């Protein structure tokens, strides 16, 4: 496949990505119902509640983006503190608390007649766990789709991961009202290793290899062009990895989705409101603060998406596999992809207006 043909194929994938995701959702549910033993076997391939198949697919998604990270430009990130400030304030001082408030509002006030008290508390707990876990891996995909600054996205995610190691347990304990919270640290550390460290190292080595293949006196622009040509060949596989991940996640939860459709809808509503509200807050703040689009869009998307692997693992360890908390975290997975794709589309449509203001 030529470079132009490959670019055209990627354009087709991106243009109709919502359609492919919808088909993947349906395919996952159908396969999960038809072949439950197959998905049970796939689900068992895990360590510390991190599924190896999902890990590989996410690796395929983010590896092309890691190749584009130029460590030489990281020295300039400190000159653009506004995007990182927005990310940290939204992720750690706003999002967990708004998620908790929405959970209380919906399940202790608005939905009180439809959900028993014990289940309501568990659903709220699952929502809180999602709110306290900012995105680690998928944000690289969303950043790519809005053509965000890859280096800045990496720094934002890295700082969030470091904060998460120290802040997740006490913040979750505070919001859950639990004196002691058992956090699966091996799940957190293994996930960061799989979804950030290994792809980053592989991307760096690949970039160095591409640079070495050029003449010794090659300009930085030549290296960037070579990297762009190479990554353009890999990007369609990144989209395929996303779709395969969706199929698996929905296949794993097919029985629950069919058995409890109304409960899923009740949980999904406040999660969707939270996602659009947090994005509007972060993106609007960046707009008023005149942050460039390439930094602002990933900053808003990081605050909106969740580290669902950790949220699911903690919910299961605290409340059990069949608990309402575990179900709520899974619903978070179900709604995240279509919601995030809609926000990516919204961001891309506003790029011109956004950058026009930041340039003033």
Reading phi first (left if > 0) and then psi (alpha if -120 to 50, else beta), residue 262 is in: alpha
For 342, the token pair is 């809609």
Alpha helices in the chain (DSSP H): 3-15, 17-34, 36-44, 52-67, 81-89, 95-105, 117-131, 138-145, 150-176, 185-192, 198-212, 220-252, 254-259, 261-288, 293-304, 308-319, 324-349, 351-358
Is residue 308 over pLDDT 90? no
Among 124-128, 265-269, 274-278, 325-329, where is mean pLDDT lowest?
A: 325-329
Please give the average per-residue pLDDT across 207-226, as a whole number. Answer: 72
Tokens standing for 300? 């808003």
On whether the CB atoms of residues 341 and 328 are closer than 8 A, the answer is no
Residue 1: its pLDDT value, please? 40
Q: Is 69 helix (H, G, I), strand (E, B) or coil?
A: coil
pLDDT for residue 349 is more than 60: yes
Q: How far is CA 223 from CA 4, 45, 216, 234, in A?
A: 19, 39, 11, 17
The yes-or-no verdict on residue 72 having pLDDT over 80 is: no
At 221 the pLDDT is 61
128 compared with 240, residue with greater pLDDT: 128
What separation in angstroms does the CA of 244 have from each of 28, 97, 151, 233, 309? 9, 33, 26, 19, 16
- The arithmetic mean of pLDDT across residues 57-65, rounded, is 80
Mean pLDDT of the chain: 81
Q: Does position 34 have pLDDT exceeding 90, yes or no?
A: yes
pLDDT at 4: 43
- Angle at Cα 80 formed by Cα 79 and Cα 81, nearest 5°? 105
- Candidates 2.60.40.420, 1.20.1530.20, 1.25.40.10, 1.10.3720.10; CATH matching 3-358: 1.20.1530.20
| pLDDT score for 315 | 79
Q: Which of 13-27, 148-162, 268-282, 325-339 has the highest mean pLDDT?
A: 268-282
Q: Give me the mean pLDDT over the 42-64 stretch.
A: 80
């Amino acid at each position: 496949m030529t470079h132009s043909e490959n670019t055209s194929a990627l354009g087709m994938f991106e243009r109709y990505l919502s359609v492919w995701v919808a088909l993947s959702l349906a395919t996952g549910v159908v396969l999960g119902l038809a072949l439950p033993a197959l998905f049970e076997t796939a689900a068992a391939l895990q360590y510390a509640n991190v599924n190896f198949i999902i890990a590989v697919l996410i690796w395929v998604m983010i590896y092309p983006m890691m190749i584009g990270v130029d460590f030489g430009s990281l020295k300039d990130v400190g000159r653009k503190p506004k995007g990182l400030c927005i990310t940290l304030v939204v992720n750690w001082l706003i999002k967990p608390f708004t998620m908790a408030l929405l959970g209380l509002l919906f399940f202790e006030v608005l939905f009180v007649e439809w959900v028993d008290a014990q289940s309501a508390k568990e659903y709220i707990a699952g929502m809180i766990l999602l709110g306290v876990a900012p995105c680690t891996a998928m944000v690289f995909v969303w950043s790519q789709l809005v053509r965000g600054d890859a280096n800045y996205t990496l720094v934002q995610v890295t700082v969030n991961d470091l904060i998460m190691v120290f802040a997740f347990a006490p913040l979750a304990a505070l919001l859950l009202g639990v004196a002691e919270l058992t956090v699966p640290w091996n799940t957190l550390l293994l996930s960061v290793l799989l979804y950030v460290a290994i792809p980053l190292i592989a991307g760096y080595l690949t970039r160095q290899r591409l640079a070495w293949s050029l003449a010794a006196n090659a300009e930085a622009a030549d290296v960037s062009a070579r990297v762009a040509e190479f990554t353009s060949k890999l990007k369609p596989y990144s989209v395929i990895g996303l779709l395969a991940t969706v199929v698996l996640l929905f296949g794993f939860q097919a029985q629950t989705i069919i058995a409890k459709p109304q409960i899923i809808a009740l949980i999904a509503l406040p999660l969707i409101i939270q996602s659009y509200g947090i994005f509007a807050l972060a993106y609007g703040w960046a707009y008023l603060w005149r942050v460039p689009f390439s930094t602002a869009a990933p900053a808003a998307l990081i605050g909106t998406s969740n580290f669902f692997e950790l949220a699911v693992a903690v919910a299961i360890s605290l409340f059990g596999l069949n608990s309402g908390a575990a179900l709520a975290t899974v619903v978070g997975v179900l709604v995240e992809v279509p919601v995030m794709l809609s926000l990516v589309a919204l961001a891309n449509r506003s790029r011109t207006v956004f950058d026009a203001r930041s340039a003033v």
